[in-house]
Amino acid sequence: MKEFQTSKAIKRLPDQFFATLIDKLNAYERKGWDTINLGQGNPDQPTPDHIVDSLKEAADNPEFHQYPPFHGYTFFKEAIAEFYKREYDVDLDPETEVAIMPGSKTGLVELSQCFLDPGDVALVPDPGYPDYWSGIEMVGAEMKPMPLLAENDFLPDYEAIDAESWEKARLMFLNYPNNPTGAVADRAFFEETIKEAEKHDVCVIHDFAYGAIGFDGVKPLSFMQVEGAKNTGVEVYTMSKTYNMAGWRVAFAVGNPSVIKAIETIQDHYFCSIFGGLQKASATALLSSQACVEELASTYEHRRDLLLSGLEEAGYHVEPCKGSFFAWLRVPEGYSSQSFADALLEETGLFVAPGIGFGASGEGYVRIGLNNSEETLKEAVVRFKKFAEK
């Protein structure tokens, strides 16, 4: 069959490292191996009933069978503003400071398309969520990795960024609570970020995907809570993790009006917002009791404690993650992140994500997801022990 040539933009797209890994896992499963998938970031629990019920009811509403307003329903934008006021005491104008997105994966790619030209630089966390790279590569811009090192509490060191990169930088991606390291940001770090961003005229995109998942009694800080943040960029929030709604594809961005306007402009060409029923159920999620969210965070915390104490007994020390649902394990001496992940899979059926897939500074680590039941995590610990004893 004739093979059509793709555009240069498509050719520039980075390999989907994790799609390749999943193929590997699937191949083992087809062979009948008893595998445990600790490598993915998919919430394992169902969406709370009251949110599903709200969607069911909304599905019967003929208004939602029509095209939704291009920029989404006002009731959803108002619910987002109310959520930010209640949770973070942040004031948002629903008209100009909120944009609805079909999942944050898409939104993060759009943001690069909105603000980067060839030759521009985007500062990205390393290790970091690989989908930041996709939009940057698509538009032909350059990436400048900001290493997140254990000795800096997995926060970037702005002084280490060279003058030329600052000069060319137009966007900076940040993500706390952090995937994959589990680190959180404090107010002082966000204040420093705002200072640097203002100085170098860089727009900050704070990815708050794990905003609801903080441990040890500490609620993760929203970037928007820090003075000057709205002038400096936006925060991207997804329904996927907070409400176990990953399959629903609903997210939003809040903050700087010019960034919000750019998102809505690009979306005028890509989408006609998202199904009204999804917006209705998402508004229900944001405005109802948040007991399900508290329960979710404490479930992940419990799993973290169980996994880490088991790993400690098996001889692996992991610093307790402070948020997100990932443990970031330093691989034993003699292994690379990939060779450790391969050996674990081959010898025990445990599938973990090699740190190198998140960037060069992820080398030496693997990411273990807490998105598995206690029973599964206990079994995983047994297998880690076996592996350590061999």
Ligand X SMILES: Cc1ncc(COP(=O)(O)O)c(C=O)c1O
Footprint of ligand X (CB under 6 A): 41, 103-105, 129, 175, 179, 207, 209, 238, 240, 246, 251
Return the number of the residue (325 or 340) whose C-beta is nearest ligand X: 325
User: For residue 248, with 0-12 CB atoms within 10 Å meaning exposed, 13-18 middle and 19 or more buried, which class applies?
Assistant: buried
Q: How far apart are CA 372 and CA 354, in angstroms?
A: 18
Q: Which CB atom, from 203 or from 250, has the smaller least distance to ligand X?
A: 250
The residue among 296 and 381 lying less far from ligand X, judged by its C-beta, is: 296
Q: How far is the CB of 102 from ligand X (least distance, A)?
A: 9
Nearer to ligand X, 20 or 231 (CB): 20
State the Cα–Cα distance between residues 178 and 181, nearest whole angstrom: 6
> Residue 193, Cβ neighbours under 10 Å: how many?
25
Q: How far is the CB of 293 from ligand X (least distance, A)?
A: 16
Distance CA 42, CA 30 (A): 21
Q: Which residue has the tokens 């240069």?
A: 8
Q: 10 Å Cβ neighbour count for 118? A: 8
Cβ nearer to ligand X, comparing 144 with 206:
206
Q: What are phi and psi of 350, to 5 degrees?
A: -85, 130
The SS3 assignment for 180 reads coil
Tokens 């009204």 correspond to: 276
Burial class (CB in 10 A: 0-12, 13-18, 19+), 62: exposed
42 vs 74, beta carbon nearer ligand X? 42
Rounded CA-CA distance 111/329 in Å is: 31
Shortest spacing between CB 182 and ligand X, in angstroms: 12
Min separation Cβ 179 and ligand X, Å: 4
Closer Cβ to ligand X, 129 or 190, answer by number:
129
Query: Shortest approach of ligand X to residue 158 CB, angstroms?
Result: 21
Min. distance of Cβ 175 from ligand X in angstroms? 5
Give the type of residue at 387: F
Q: Tell me the closest approach of the beta carbon of residue 129 to ligand X, in angstroms.
A: 4
